Amino acid sequence: MDNVKERKLSTKRRGHFQLTEEDIRELPKVLLHDHLDGGLRPETVIELARKNNVKLPYWDPLKLADWFYRGANRGSLKEYLEGFSITTSLMQTPEDLYRVAYEAIEDAKKDGIVYLETRFAPVFHTQKGLTYDQIVDSVLRGLKDASIKYGVNFGLIICAMRNMSPALSLEMAKLAVRYREQGVVGFDLAGDELGYPPKDHLEAFYYIQRNNFYITIHAGEAFGKESIWQALQYCGTHRIGHGIHLKDDIMVADDQIIEMGYLAQYVLDRRVPLEICLSSNIHTGAIPDLKYHPFPIFYKYGFRVTLNTDNRLMSSTTLTKEFSIAVKYYKLTLKDIEKLTINAMKSAFIHFPERLKIIYDIIKPGYIKFREKREKHNA
């Protein structure tokens, strides 16, 4: 009791208030890096597994959620991949793809997300003979129906896999462009970085560029800054997925940047958005501990950073949780959360007027409303 009183006093004295997870959930947020097959609800996994006769390690939602989470925790690549092989095996029919997409928007709504860019690799969804067009159609229908019902705006990103053939990547690039009027907003290259440089897939990226379309690439997650450089300067990416190894191009001492290489300078100058995923980086072992994460230094020096979930199921997270982590470990304030949200919206792949509309009609009024409510409450 005393502790609570003391905390209240000290927050008042500092002139700002402590943000709870509930507060953060209520705030309008934007999510740019989210994998559809990494975000299923444990209950949905169980229902779809029963329906499709897929074997699961556990049939209790809590135990199953914990199993997915443990798999994502470093050291167990086998279980991690097993997790995805289960989720993708449950997304093989139009109805099941529709359901997972629909629920992604439903969950986004519950999480206070006003714009969601979710992504997936159609190549993993052909086990029962669906064509790529049928796969993308089903996902888009689910996203659209839920978007109409819940008022969450969305964009879909088509992923190619870096360990698969460049010819297949080109096919995925063509698929993405073909659906640009139906809700696909960009193209991504995902998968294991080591040994699979993005420049192996140049034809796909050139196709996207020649069609004036949008690119994001998983780069600088597990592999060095070289991968980020290639993504930018060979492949013409507009955003970087993760990009944490950009820190290898920055010299830091006592939380100050002492020196920056040309690559980091370029990313900063050109306002290249970095899709940062805190929990995911810890779980995959890309970063050993939150105190070593470059996010706070990137943010402090004005890099265009955004916060994201990556795989909600495997990392047992939500965007609210990711922001809560940043509030707790890096002392983010309400103003910082608003700034990061606007950063993300500015970096989205939908058209400029649509982005502005969401910023000025939804995000900014949402933060104003939250502040007014707080002031009234504190008066």
**Whose CB is nearest to Zn ion?**
310
Q: How many CA atoms lie within 13 A of 333 on its CB side?
A: 8
Q: How far is the CB of 31 from Zn ion (least distance, A)?
A: 12
What's the token pair of residue 234?
A: 């060979």
Binding of Zn ion at residue 117 (CB under 5 A)? no
**Cβ closest to Zn ion, residue 277 vs residue 327:** 277
**Of residues 37, 103, 310, 322, which one binds Zn ion by CB under 5 A?**
310
- How distant, in Å, are the alpha carbons of 334, 337, 347 from that of 342? 12, 9, 8
Query: Among the candidate windows 7-15, 77-85, 229-237, 310-318, which touches Zn ion by CB under 5 A?
Result: 310-318
**Cβ closest to Zn ion, residue 93 vs residue 279:** 279
Question: 104, 39 in Cβ contact below 8 A?
Answer: yes
Of 279, 338, 312, 276, the residue nearest 105 (C-alpha): 312
Tell me how far apart the alpha carbons of residues 184 and 339 are, in angstroms, rounded to a whole number.
26
Q: Which residue in the block uniquely carries the two structure tokens 């792949």?
A: 349
Binding of Zn ion at residue 193 (CB under 5 A)? no
Select which of 103, 193, 221, 338 is catalytic.
221
- Per-residue x/- track, 265-304, Zn ion (CB under 5 A): ----------------------------------------
Of 134, 248, 230, the residue nearest 189 (C-alpha): 230
Q: Which residues contact 352 (CB under 8 A, 6 or more apart)?
A: none
Binding of Zn ion at residue 37 (CB under 5 A)? no
Residues 328-347 within binding reach of Zn ion (CB under 5 A): none
- How distant, in Å, are the alpha carbons of 57, 212, 355 from that of 349? 38, 12, 9
Query: Among the candidate windows 76-84, 128-136, 289-297, 308-316, which touches Zn ion by CB under 5 A?
Result: 308-316
Look up 26 and say whether it is catalytic: no
**Cβ closest to Zn ion, residue 107 vs residue 310:** 310
Residues marked active site are found at 221
Site residues (CB under 5 A) for Zn ion?
310
